[in-house]
Amino acid sequence: MDYDLLIHELSIRKDKVYNYLNSTRFQQTFSPQHIHDSVYSYIRYGGKALRPSVLMFACGAVGGDEDKIIPAAAAIEIFHTWTIVHDDIIDRDHKRRGGPTIHEEFRQRAIKEFGYNENDAKHYGTSIAILAGDMQQGWAVSMLSELGLNGDINPKLVLYLIKDFGMRMQSELIEGQVLDMQYSKEPIESLNEEQIMKVMWKKTGVLYEFTGKAGAMLGLNTLDTQHPFVKAISSFTGKCGTAFQLQDDILGIIGDEKKLGKPVGSDIREGKRTVIVSHAFKNANNEQKHKLSKIIGNQQASEDEINEAKNLLIELGGIEWTRKLAEKYIEDSLQHLDIIPQSKYKELLLLWADYMVKRKF
């Protein structure tokens, strides 16, 4: 697979989206300074911009002009950004994209700039991150609404996407987050793979499904959600998004921390219930179960204990099972693209699908 081509095409679309996000009219919107800086923090670090790129690929694959939907691509990127801003608070993570998480950055700034004590600084950092995420959520909807103002896209289509974006998709995403938190405190053996996959679908698959659907609908300028191309591409991107999350869980255990830009092993401390953990626990003997139960979810676990848990998850087949499951999702997704006409955009979507389970960061 020619991943160099894919990386090049992804970087082109990332530049288009980030240039749009960094335009002066947006830069002047956010105040005071700490809100401005927090809203732009993860944009400044830079992400992979996979979701906006996929939206643009989907648009092109059905014959649309991808440059006309840059506001929608930017909206997807910022919507995803607010979810990880709040997710980092919930997960108590301190590192994202190679830098501090927003709540951690502004905890540090509160001490340095205002002389706050540790408790007040921590509260301030968390508060700023919550407000930044709220602002980004509103910004995403605002950018999506701009599509209906230039005359190229049917305003009724824009209103439909805003409704789907703001209610159905967001509701499912938040449901997934709540279940994820609840499951992290349940005994590992009490959860089955189906429950874990439901969380994964709602937290990750749903947004990728919407991304494909919105890209295809905008490219066709149609309100018909049952259009064969819309159904095909949304099913494809939804399954690929699920594979993406499975691979993300693998990298969270055995990935390169420098490439990932976040701590490897943090999912273990957090107690995240993944397919990796579920499958490994099924294969574990009583002694191994005891060790895993003692370490997974222990915020005070030492590095040696984290490494012990990693090794057990590998030894008990959790990583390999999850890898095969991710590959199965990609294999199942490809059939949906059979009806899409051949083009460079279709080839990019196929490349992207393969990349979801081969990527190292």
Q: How far does CA 148 lie from the centroid of its chain? A: 26
Structure confidence at residue 361 (pLDDT):
61
Cα distances (angstroms) measured from residue 43 to each of 56, 138, 190: 19, 16, 39
* pLDDT surpassing 90 at residue 53: yes
Which residues 6+ apart lie within 8 Å of 332 measured at CB?
239
pLDDT, mean of residues 40-57: 93
* pLDDT surpassing 90 at residue 236: yes
> pLDDT averaged over the chain?
93
Q: Specify the 3-state DSSP secondary structure of 359.
A: coil
Which residues 6+ apart lie within 8 Å of 315 measured at CB?
none
pLDDT, mean of residues 216-236: 98
Structure confidence at residue 263 (pLDDT):
74
- Tracing tokens 């869980």 back to the chain, one arrives at 249
Q: Per-residue pLDDT tens for 206-224?
A: 999 999 999 999 999 999 9
Q: What are the sequence ranges of the domains in the chain?
A: 3-358
For the segment(s) 3-358, the CATH number from 1.10.600.10, 3.30.70.270, 2.40.10.10, 2.102.10.10 is 1.10.600.10
Cα distances (angstroms) measured from residue 163 to each of 52, 67, 169: 19, 23, 9
pLDDT, mean of residues 179-199: 91
Report the percent of the chain where pLDDT is more than 70: 98
Q: Indicate the range of 87-96, 140-149, 175-184, 261-270 predicted with least confidence.
A: 261-270
Structure confidence at residue 229 (pLDDT):
99
Structure confidence at residue 14 (pLDDT):
96
* pLDDT surpassing 90 at residue 176: yes
